[in-house]
A and B are shown apart, each in its own frame.
Chain A
């Protein structure tokens, strides 16, 4: 099946640093979702976006729905060790119930 292009694939950062990752699509989406998945666990919803240009925060996390509707961005400010995990995006287009998932960004935080 189709996957969204997500970058970077992995990141190693120092505690306290900010993190940015993004997802791009060749299709226009109406909904963007961002998830975090820890080893052996199910994906946990972080942020949902429904409108082009929308900027939404959840604590230290901020996500944006790109104005072209073909991309989305997730930022994590002042990273902490418990931010470790795999972050992935999901997008849904017009008139479909199907979500397309990103390839994931593996984040490691060095204390």
Chain B
């Protein structure tokens, strides 16, 4: 089944403890992206990647890192999480990124205390 898989679905952590949220897609998509969703603010793009080893900042990149070493994987790294990074995170992918619909994962709900 074609899908975008994120792990974990739920994560509770403490301020400053490094964490990684994984994202994997099995559709051979070139474009991958991370979003955070907050009440009243909608979906905001964190980082995106056009292809392997090509990444760029979205609207809210501060406090996040990404890497794209393989086409299928696009992990989101929080080196030193803070409470304002408590949010619902979504990974998405599309075939080319342009004129190509985004397919979303099921989300990761992160709580930083």
Measured CB to CB, the residues of A under 8 A from B are 1, 3, 30-31, 33, 35, 40-45, 48, 50, 88, 90, 92, 96-99, 101-104
Cβ contacts under 8 Å, A31 to chain B: 99, 101
Contact indicator per residue, chain B 19-55, by CB within 8 Å of chain A (1) or not (0): 0000000000001000000000011110010100000
Cβ contacts under 8 Å, A96 to chain B: 98
Measured CB to CB, the residues of B under 8 A from A are 4, 31, 42-45, 48, 50, 58-60, 90, 97-99, 101-107, 109
Asked if A50 meets B43 with Cβ closer than 8 Å, knowing A1-B59, A42-B106, the reply is no
Q: Nearest chain B CB to A97's CB is how many angstroms away?
A: 4
Residue of B42, B50, B104 touching A97 (CB-CB under 8 A) = B50
Cβ contacts under 8 Å, B44 to chain A: 1
